[in-house]
């Protein structure tokens, strides 16, 4: 992801006329890269106009000299001017300024993601909270192929941290829980993500084979971020655009995007990359409506349609408890805790000794030698209704 240089180190110039045009007309420059200082550019955008901000700011790595591999070849680390700050106070002021600008353009229900390493993420997090953002999660990106610690003086740095935050404490932020669960083979997505670093054909390189950008993030990381906290048609802004990973993934997922970048080399590479991305398919392919917004299907409908017959036996996933289906869509079960009659939810909770239970995911029916959740049958009815 792109980084912002300290004021005065701009490789490209900011165009006030263009941004003032958009701000004055209350329009957003959607699906465009704006060239210039990210703070000034965000301050020129209409307030409360962006649904999601993903930020990969300078890490202020504080590198101490050249890093060599055991074979004495040089490691291509981050030694660009945009990652250098005079002191922590300067870095904190820079962080406060860009976050303030980002919070102004976020919609009340919007959210912000920011990624960093141990060099900066704790300072970033404190500033974020001081400005009124409300932290929702910290996500640990565990790298499947991290760079080793060649000097052998510390643990290998094998992860980076992302903070996901709502604009305010009481904000009604978007979280596509079902999409994340589906992406994780029907298991609740956890806050530790095991993903590879950007490499191979995805890594952009110049004519000499050198990396176009030293800290290009993998598309899989941005795919999960954007899919989790936005909807098709939403506007995703990246204030440190770099080689355009955010824009490329946003386009692929049917989101609108805005990139802010001050380095012309990165801008050209990002634009060419995004131009090559195919347009997203229709919204129905891209969106995962939450299950609670779907039509309510009583379990009795499953029985009356013959998808399960009266007398069929249902089991929990490990076959520890069982219950039989009654003609009216209720269950009757016998177990160590006695006999129970009632809805799929009531009987499931009673037999499992739980205060509450989602019967659709608790109970399973036999299909050959396998057990399948009865929720599959509910989804079959929903699909027929549409």
Give the Cα separation of 98 and 94 in Å (integer).
6
pLDDT band at 148 (very low <50, low <70, confident <90, very high): confident
- Do 113 and 161 touch, CB atoms closer than 8 A? no
Between 46 and 27, whose confidence is greater? 46
198 and 336 fall within a common domain = no
The pLDDT score that the predictor gives to residue 24 is 45
Residue 30 within a domain: yes
Q: What share of the chain in percent tops pLDDT 70? A: 84
The pLDDT score that the predictor gives to residue 21 is 44
Q: Which pLDDT tens digit goes with each residue over 9-39? A: 333 334 444 444 444 445 899 999 999 999 9
258 and 183 fall within a common domain = yes
Residue 65 within a domain: yes
250 and 327 fall within a common domain = no
The pLDDT score that the predictor gives to residue 201 is 80
- Do 107 and 49 touch, CB atoms closer than 8 A? yes
Residue 143 within a domain: yes
Residue 7 within a domain: no
DSSP string, 133-183: -EEEEEEEEEESSPPP-TTSSS----EEEEEEEESSTT------HHHHHHH
pLDDT band at 69 (very low <50, low <70, confident <90, very high): very low
Q: Which two tokens stand for residue 375?
A: 């929720």
State which of 257, 284, 311 marks the end of a domain: 284
The pLDDT score that the predictor gives to residue 61 is 62
- Of 311, 325, 309, nearest to 359 by C-alpha is 325
**pLDDT above 70 (res 5):** no
Residue 38 within a domain: yes
- Of 182, 165, 67, nearest to 115 by C-alpha is 165
Between 291 and 71, whose confidence is greater? 291
Listed in order, strand segments (DSSP E) in 19-79 are 32-35, 50-55
211 and 311 fall within a common domain = no
- Do 110 and 104 touch, CB atoms closer than 8 A? no
Q: Which pLDDT tens digit goes with each residue over 151-190? A: 778 888 899 999 999 999 999 999 999 999 999 988 899 9
The pLDDT score that the predictor gives to residue 212 is 73
Side-by-side strand order, sheet with 322-325: 338-342, 331-335, 322-325, 313-315, 364-367, 370-373
Residue 18 within a domain: no
Residue 197 within a domain: yes
Residue 291 within a domain: no
164 and 221 fall within a common domain = yes
Q: Is the pTM of this model over 0.75?
A: no
132 and 265 fall within a common domain = yes
Instruction: Centre a 10 Å sphere on the Cβ of residue 72 and count the other Cβ atoms it contains.
Output: 6
- Of 233, 176, 273, nearest to 50 by C-alpha is 233
Phi and psi at 266, nearest 5°, equal -65, -40
306 and 165 fall within a common domain = no
State which of 233, 259, 284 marks the end of a domain: 284
What is the tally of structural domains in the chain? Answer: 2
250 and 305 fall within a common domain = no
Instruction: Centre a 10 Å sphere on the Cβ of residue 325 and count the other Cβ atoms it contains.
Output: 24
Average confidence (pLDDT) over 268-279? 94
234 and 312 fall within a common domain = no
324 and 369 fall within a common domain = yes
85 and 211 fall within a common domain = yes
Owning domain of residue 375 = 299-384
Instruction: Name the average pLDDT for the chain.
Output: 85
- Do 233 and 182 touch, CB atoms closer than 8 A? no
The pLDDT score that the predictor gives to residue 213 is 67
- Do 225 and 254 touch, CB atoms closer than 8 A? no
The pLDDT score that the predictor gives to residue 52 is 98
State which of 249, 284, 319 marks the end of a domain: 284
Cα dihedral sign, 292-295-297-302 = negative
**pLDDT above 50 (res 339):** yes
Neighbouring residues of 74: CB distance < 8 A, sequence distance ≥ 6: 66, 67, 68
DSSP 194: E
342 and 367 fall within a common domain = yes
The pLDDT score that the predictor gives to residue 167 is 97
């Amino acid at each position: 992801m792109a980084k912002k240089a300290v004021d005065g180190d701009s490789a490209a110039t900011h165009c006030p006329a263009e941004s003032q045009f958009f701000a004055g007309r209350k329009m957003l420059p959607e699906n465009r890269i704006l060239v210039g200082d990210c703070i000034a550019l965000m301050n020129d955008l209409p307030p409360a106009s962006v649904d999601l901000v993903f930020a990969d700011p300078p890490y202020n790595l504080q590198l101490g000299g050249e890093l060599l591999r055991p074979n004495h070849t040089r490691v291509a680390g981050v030694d660009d001017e945009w990652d250098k700050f005079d002191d922590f106070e300067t870095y904190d002021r820079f962080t406060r300024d860009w976050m303030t600008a980002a919070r102004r353009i976020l919609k009340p229900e919007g959210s912000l993601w920011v990624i960093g390493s141990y060099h900066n993420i704790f300072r970033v997090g404190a500033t974020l909270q001081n400005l009124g953002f409300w932290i929702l999660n910290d996500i640990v990106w565990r790298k499947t192929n991290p760079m080793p610690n060649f000097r052998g003086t510390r643990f290998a740095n094998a992860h980076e941290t992302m903070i996901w935050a709502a604009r305010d404490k009481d904000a009604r932020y978007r979280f596509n829980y079902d999409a994340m669960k589906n992406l994780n083979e029907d298991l609740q997505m956890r806050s530790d993500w095991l993903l590879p670093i950007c490499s191979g054909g995805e890594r952009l390189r110049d004519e000499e084979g050198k990396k176009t950008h030293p800290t290009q993030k993998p598309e899989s990381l941005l795919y999960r971020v954007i899919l989790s906290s936005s909807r098709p048609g939403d506007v995703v802004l990246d204030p440190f655009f770099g080689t355009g990973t955010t824009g490329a993934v946003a386009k692929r997922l049917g989101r609108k995007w805005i990139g802010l970048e001050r380095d012309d080399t990165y801008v050209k590479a990002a634009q060419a990359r995004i131009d090559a991305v195919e347009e997203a398919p229709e919204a129905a392919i891209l969106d995962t409506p939450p299950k609670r917004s779907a039509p309510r299907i009583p379990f009795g409908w499953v029985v009356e349609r013959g998808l399960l017959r009266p007398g069929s036996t249902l089991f929990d996933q490990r076959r520890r408890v069982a219950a039989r289906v009654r003609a009216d869509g209720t269950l009757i079960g016998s177990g160590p805790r006695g006999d129970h009659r009632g809805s799929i939810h009531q009987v499931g909770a009673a037999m499992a000794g739980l205060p509450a239970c989602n019967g659709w995911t608790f109970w399973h029916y036999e299909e050959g030698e396998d057990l399948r959740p009865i929720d599959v049958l509910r989804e079959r009815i929903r699909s027929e209704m549409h």
